Structure 1
Amino acid sequence: MNVAAVTTPALEQINQTKRAIEHHIQSIDRHPDRREGAYPYYLFHEPGQPIRGTVMMFHGFSAKPHQMWRLADYLFQNGFNVYQSTIAGHVLTNPAKNWCQVDLKPPYADPLREKLRRDPILQDFFKNFATHPDAARPGFIQQIALMARLVALEPRSLDIMNAIESPNNPDFDHYFTSSHLHYLTDAKARLEDLHAMPGAIYTVGLSVGGAVALGLAASRPDRVKGVVAYAPLLRIHGKERRQYVNLAGPLDISESGWDANLRFPVGALTAVDRFGSSVVMSPSAVRSLQTIPTFMVLTENEDAADIDTNKRFFQDISSERNRNAFYLYLLKDQVPHPMVDPTEVSQNMSNHFWQSLYQETFRFLTEGRVNMDNMGSLSQAQDVPPVANAN
């Protein structure tokens, strides 16, 4: 990576950028569905102080910007300005209304929902699931059984699911309405908030935020000079889980994620899958990303993002021009999908290598390379700034 030169923002450039972000925050304040604790925020150095560039950060699905606050602080303390954005819709509650999702059009949804309403087996299923509010989502066998029942009730369900599975299927627009493109349009609007900020822009994201970081970079290679994507969610993990999400998603079935108090329609996950497959992995985005240095970090302990899809995608975007970097945490490392914050636990695992991950993120953004040996080390490297211990 051709590392961008250090730049020194002037007072008016800083103030103009702050005004743009504050204008966005004020629009959130006026919204009746605003979500507490989900506001975007920024860390800017004082005018006249040299910076290494500005890092835009994007959190994971159903989470909030502070999900990566430790990494934001580390990068800020070591010379970067940071803009922690909120992925599309997530600054608001009421996910069924405000989050990106895929919905069946009424001519197909209404008859199918009526069949569901009249089916005693499915009604009993939903009743039992509703009486266990601690269940974030149906178990694997439950999902398989639900898909089988839906297909039995409505044979066209397979055609409907196939229309989602293939990103180029012309039947998608026939069956569905979708707001998945809002992930990109919203990120581009947040990039525009930084219009007055001089110097390089880098995008960093986790999970769905990783997909947004990649998609934004692909759409603005003139502005974004590097990407770091942690376990980007380009396709839902596992064929069966993805089929369930794509089939049940448009039917008002809900789940919960990192915010246990906020349930969302499964159609919101369908939109995530659609955004990754049809936008981020589109031929035009791949060609664009072949010119942008990208550091991708995956884990074999994956339960959200399809790891084989991510591996193939990394190969597709890699070229001699961009000198990409790739690292895979192995099963024995016990690093979960939400790998950025050491206190975030998933599948009874957390990332014990998080300090090395921060160091190598910094190294990639400043030097365009990664020390792979350090990535798997519990001891920090001595040739990049140290990371403070978690309190």
Structure 2
Amino acid sequence: MSIKTTRPTFQDINQCKKKIDAYIDSIDQNPEHRAGAYPYYQFHAPGEPIYGTVLMFHGFSAKPDQMWRLSAYLFENGFNVYQCSLAGHSLINPHKNWPQIDLKSEYRDPLFESMRKDPILSDLLSSLEGKSEGFSITQKLGIAARILRLNPLLLADMIKALLSNNDPDFDKYFVSSHLDYLDNARQRLQELRTMPGEIYTVGLSVGGATALALAQDQPMRIKKVVAYAPLLNPVEEQAKEWQVNLIGVLDIKESGWDPNLKFPVGCFSAVNRFGDFVRSKENYEKLKNTPIFLVLTENEDAADPKTNQQFFDNIGGEAQGNRYFSYDKSDLVPHPMIDPTEVSQGMSNHFWQSLYQETYRFLTTGEVVTGNMDKFEQAQDLPLVKPA
């Protein structure tokens, strides 16, 4: 296998390290920094040949070390790696630091006052004080239905603005920071400006959407993308639940992979909006020359598989050099498919070593042997993955 390599100099590497270290130091100096959520890099020594540098983006509410095993495998086999933190995710207090969507105060405050005058919702608001969880999706949808009765025409228009791509009324009603995911990724890429060689992006879930968005934004810089279950549109159950945030006044919070971290449902709404941005028609065109390896699973509880399949078709499918694989439902592979110890819905990915190998194959050759993806045995023509 003949692969083009480059040999970064001491100056190349040192300039990148200084910029990344300054960023990490800024996180550390922030009183709201989140324990264990620091980005990190693995760079080979000056003069050593590398295949390029991989920018990695973790999943929603997770931390950069979510994909540490994959990072170590790629580093040990010829890549530099920069494990980034998603926008805001190195900080606590998601309600002020993470991308989210909120109703503007001129709409939120009158609505909140109307809720206080409603006897049912008033009792509910009283019960919410000091609490941040405990409502089922049925309860949340019931709450939303009750609030819709307060001002049906106005709230219906808000719903339309939030759920429709490029609705002109979105900016009228909402304040959104969903594009912070892309802005943050741009800054991380800029820190690698002096690193010679190809740049690749790899991401899981929201990180997968971020990896795709950065390639759309910087098509001349990003060579290839690997997106694991990119969250471009939520599955139906979550889509319904996230609509609770339309009213923008109930401070309902959820928890993600970190059970000690609560965040507003508006953070989910921003994720959904960001997925809409990645799926916009103009952004499809920007990926026509960037090969993408899309890995999905039928056991989804977050990213809608049909949306991702349609996305693959819209970027040109395999005819454009893209590759695709979806784990069958019987494979019992969950949405967070990267680390074998990460359990979701009672499932984990038992084929993770083959996934790592085929990721390596795609990054180095642009090809994928899909028949290996659901095999326990590792391919002997690729670097072997160490056991967990």
Give the TM-score normalised by the residue count of structure 2: 0.94
Letter of the structure 1 residue corresponding to residue 150 of structure 2:
L
Q: In the alignment, what sits opposite 1:102?
A: 101
Alignment-derived partner of residue 85 in structure 2: 86
Cα offset for 1:122?
Answer: 3.5
Q: 1:231 to 1:128 in 2, by over 3 A?
A: farther
Point out where structure 2 has 5 or more consecutive residues left out of the alignment. Answer: none
Give distance in 1, aligned partners of 2:34 and 2:353.
Answer: 30
Equivalent residue, structure 2, for 1:222: 220
Matches within 5 A, 1:240-279: 241-248=238-245, 250-251=248-249, 252-277=251-276, 279=277
Shift of 1:254: 1.2
Distance 1:377 1:188 in 2: 36
Is 1:326 aligned to residue 324 of structure 2? yes
Give the structure 1 partner of residue 168 of structure 2: 170
1:121 maps to which residue? 120
Question: Residues 140 and 9 (structure 1 numbering): CA distance in 2 closer, same or farther, change over 3 Å?
Answer: same
Q: 1:125 to 1:384 in 2, by over 3 A?
A: farther
Equivalence for 1:289: 287
Structure 1: gaps (5+ residues): none
> Which residue identity lines up with residue 274 of structure 2 in the other structure?
F
Q: CA deviation at 1:369?
A: 0.7
Question: 229-238 or 55-64, which moves further after superposition?
Answer: 229-238
Residue pair 1:211, 1:233 contacting (<8 A) in 2 also: yes
Bigger mean CA offset, 247-256 vs 364-373: 247-256
Residue 157 and residue 202 in structure 1: after superposition, are their counterparts in 2 closer, same or farther (change >3 A)? same
Q: Which residue of 2 aligns with 1:351?
A: 349
1:110-189 alignment runs, 5 A limit: 110-125=109-124, 135=134, 138-155=135-152, 156-189=154-187
Assess if the C-alpha contact under 8 Å between 2:132 and 2:252 holds in 1: no
Instruction: Give a deviation string over 1:18-54, Cα, whole Å, max 9, x none.
Output: 0010011111122111111000000000000000110
> In 2, distance between residues paired with 1:87 and 1:202?
16
Q: 1:4 to 1:284 in 2, by over 3 A?
A: farther
State whether residues 255 and 261 of structure 2, in contact with CA within 8 Å, keep that contact through their aligned partners in structure 1.
yes
Deviations 1:71-120 (A, max 9, x none): 00000000000000000000110101000011101111111122333434
- What amino acid maps onto 1:372 in structure 2? T
Question: Which residue among 315, 318, 331 is the counterpart of 1:317?
Answer: 315
Corresponding residue for residue 51 of structure 1:
50
Paired residue for 1:199? Answer: 197
Q: CA deviation at 1:67?
A: 0.5
Cα drift, residue 128 of structure 1: 6.1
Tell me if the contact between 1:356 and 1:378 (Cα under 8 Å) persists in the aligned partners: yes
Q: Secondary structure at the match of 2:356?
A: helix
Deviates further, 301-310 or 151-160: 151-160
1:69 is matched with which residue?
Answer: 68
The answer on 1:42 being equivalent to 2:47 is no
What letter matches 2:159 in structure 1? M
Identity %: 55
- The Cα RMSD (Å) is 1.8
Opposite residue 373 of structure 1, the aligned amino acid is G
Aligned CA distance change for structure 1 residues 386 and 127 (closer, same or farther; 3 Å): farther
User: Relative to structure 1, is the Cα distance of residues 276 and 4 closer, same or farther in structure 2, using a 3 angstrom cutoff?
Assistant: farther
Partner of 1:28: 27
Q: Which residue of 2 aligns with 1:17?
A: 16
Preserved CA contact (<8 Å) 2:133 2:253: no
Give, in angstroms, the shift of residue 319 of structure 1: 5.1
Tell me which amino acid in the other structure corresponds to 1:208.
V
Name the amino acid aligned to 2:62.
Answer: A
